[in-house]
Amino acid sequence: MPTTSSRLLALLSLLQSRRDWPGEVLAERLDVTSRTVRRDIDRLRELGYRIATFKGPDGGYRLDAGTQLPPMLFDDEQAVALAIALQIASGSGAGTGEAALRALSTVRQVMPPRLRHRVDALSVTAVRPPTDGEDVDPAVLQQIGAVVHAGEVLRFDYGDGDGPVRRAEPHHVASWRGRWYLVGWDLDREDWRTYRVDRVRPRIPNGPRFAPRELPGGDLTTFLTGRFRGNEGSTRWPCEGEAILELPVDEVRPFIGDGLATPVDNRRTRVVLGSWSWPALVASLLRFDADLEVIGPPELAAAVEEVGRRCARAAG
């Protein structure tokens, strides 16, 4: 027979794993009587957990949200995942970095040694790329998130605020390369737009409710990737080419970004790169400061010739 404390932890873990639990099923899982389950439920209520009782043939219990944050129970994998997520959140640019680090310190302090060692071994440093904007105000981020959740039109000033009040159907709040964006349907321009959250100042009251629209590409990842790569509805670059650089692969890989680098021999590297235009792709290849051989497609070879002519004119 397990001790009362270990049995309470096991009961709490079960209640957190799904919404409704019939009393008889709980008793069977814990290998105790229904009467013991009722007593343990009362003990958890005394500790601050709001546990509702529901009636019916399979009457049982449900763990509800309360007005205060009671002690929470995590299994080993959940605790490690939470610690890693807090490390990443400290550099998310959402204005909650200090709070995330305090929460991480609190979680780590109460971890058993075996989990603390795992978390320390998986120490993560979230590095934000340099941006020309400030961290997002958490209050603004929460306000926009609430409007997205409510499905109401967002009225807001954008940028320096000198322009007209903007109106958009907000669909998603997303983080992309160190910045936070609002993805919405602009009602005045009748098109999808991405707005930097650090430039959004919501107005009150909100507009009416709206029916959600389908994003181009079908999902947020495809939409954002296509929008920032200049290839709507796709995660691929609109221009992709292949070439051989007269450089060892170890001198190429650190600077290839999301491209592919494979060795041809000990002094040459085959690269596959993408960009928003063919001249931009040529520029990406030339930044390696090495001789190159174009493999294809023909559009890349033509762009190399055109860029060469432009450079010759500029030098002349």
Least confident of 35-39, 108-112, 144-148: 108-112
Split at pLDDT 50, 70, 90, the class of 137 is: confident
Query: Is 297 found in the same domain as 245?
Result: yes
Does residue 71 lie in a domain region?
Answer: no
Query: Is 178 found in the same domain as 116?
Result: no
Overall pTM surpassing 0.95 (yes/no): no
Cβ distance 162 to 137 under 8 Å? no
Residues 248-300: pLDDT tens digits?
999 999 999 889 999 999 999 999 999 999 999 999 999 999 999 999 999 99
Query: Is 213 found in the same domain as 190?
Result: yes
Which of the listed residues 179, 204, 229 is the one where a domain comes to its end? 229
Residue 60, CA distances (Å) to 7, 44, 45, 65 in order: 17, 15, 15, 17
Query: Is 212 found in the same domain as 160?
Result: yes
Which of the listed residues 88, 121, 154 is the one where a domain comes to its end? 121
257: containing domain: 239-315
Does residue 133 lie in a domain region?
Answer: no
Q: How much is the pLDDT for 66?
A: 58
Which CATH number belongs to the domain containing residue 40 in this structure?
1.10.10.10
Question: CA 154, CA 183: separation in Å to the nearest integer?
Answer: 11
Does residue 104 lie in a domain region?
Answer: yes
Token reading at 223: 């939409």
Total tally of structural domains belonging to the chain: 4
Residues 91-120: pLDDT tens digits?
555 555 666 667 777 677 667 777 777 777
Q: Where on the phi/psi map is residue 247: left (φ > 0), alpha (ψ -120 to 50), or beta?
A: beta
Does residue 260 lie in a domain region?
Answer: yes
Q: How much is the pLDDT for 1?
A: 43
